[in-house]
């Protein structure tokens, strides 16, 4: 296990401080944010994301839920949050990256448990499944072209076999992760952005339903995996 030596641990404490600090134009902490289990209840909350939230009437993943609370509760500007959400390599990282890691770490050792009880969760799941197989662009790629078989690599990079239970579980339980070649913590949204870039598609916007749908599909397939973050990626 790389966990003990994982430099991503540094961001956990940073995220904890950010979570409890009074911040933003409204000068309040995120303690009043409901991540699905009630205000301020973090233990096990990330394990159940994405999920439906009645206050927004939407299915949200961790990053979109953070945006919701940071804008509604703390008064931050959404566009500004998004423009700094994905940090530069070898930087201090972004607030959202640290917060996402801290909140997910509060589910460490717990099982991924995405339920599809709400109608909108089912719609999101089915859309994510559709998008996983949707081919387009110069390379004719959907997700499944690289992630549909076991033991495959692009050059020397191992590809996760996401249509297997074990592969989906790896996805669902290891983000946010410290990325060794970037020297920062990366989130699931970053992972999707980078895939889309390699697929030769245009720039993926932050926290849209496209990402939430794919994350709902993959995390649901990954149910029962034990969460252990920060993950460690090449």
Residue from 19, 76, 102, 141 in contact with another protein (CB under 8 A): 141
Tokens at 149, concatenated: 């078989």
82 binds another protein (CB under 8 A): no
Nearest-10 crossing angle of helices 119-132, 209-221 = 90
Peptide bond connecting 50 to the previous residue in cis, omega within 30 degrees of 0: yes
Selected range binding another protein among 93-101, 105-113, 136-144, 164-172, rule: CB under 8 A:
136-144
Tokens at 22, concatenated: 């009074």
- We find the least distance from the C-beta atom of residue 231 to another protein, in angstroms, to be 23
The contacts of residue 53 (CB under 8 Å, 6+ apart) are: 34, 36, 59, 60, 65, 68
Tokens at 32, concatenated: 């009043």
Rg (CA), the chain: 17
44 or 148, CB closer to another protein?
Answer: 148
Active site residue 69: no
Binding mask 148-187 for another protein (x = CB under 8 A): xx-xxxxxx--x---x------------------------
Instruction: Tell me the three state secondary structure of residue 150.
Output: coil
Compute how many residues bind another protein; rule: CB under 8 A.
Answer: 50
Q: Out of 33, 143, 146, 195, pick the active-site residue.
A: 195
- What residues pair up with 30 in beta bridges, in sequence order? none
Binding site for another protein (CB under 8 A): 116-119, 121-123, 125-127, 129-142, 144-146, 148-149, 151-156, 159, 163, 197-198, 200-205, 208-211, 213
Which residues are designated catalytic? 195
């Amino acid at each position: 296990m790389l966990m003990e030596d994982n430099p991503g641990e540094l961001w956990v404490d940073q995220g904890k401080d950010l979570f409890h600090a009074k911040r933003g134009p409204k000068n309040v902490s995120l303690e009043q944010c409901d991540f699905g289990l009630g205000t301020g209840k973090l233990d096990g909350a990330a394990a159940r994301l994405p999920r439906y939230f009645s206050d927004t009437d939407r299915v949200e993943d961790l990053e979109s839920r953070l945006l919701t609370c940071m804008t509604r509760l703390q008064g931050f500007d959404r566009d500004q949050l998004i423009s700094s959400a994905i940090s530069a390599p070898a930087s201090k990282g972004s607030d959202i990256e640290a917060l996402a890691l801290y909140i997910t770490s509060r589910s460490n050792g717990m099982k991924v448990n995405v339920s599809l009880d709400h109608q909108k969760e089912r719609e999101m799941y089915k859309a994510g499944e559709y998008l996983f197989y949707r081919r387009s662009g110069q390379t004719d790629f959907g997700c499944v072209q690289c992630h549909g078989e076991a033991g495959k690599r692009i050059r020397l990079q191992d590809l996760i076999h996401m249509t297997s239970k074990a592969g989906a579980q790896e996805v669902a339980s290891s983000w946010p992760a410290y990325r060794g070649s970037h020297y920062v913590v990366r989130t699931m949204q970053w992972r999707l952005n980078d895939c889309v870039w390699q697929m030769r598609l245009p720039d993926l916007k932050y926290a849209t339903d496209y990402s939430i749908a794919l994350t709902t599909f993959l995390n649901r397939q990954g149910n029962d995996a034990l969460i252990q973050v920060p993950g460690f990626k090449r």
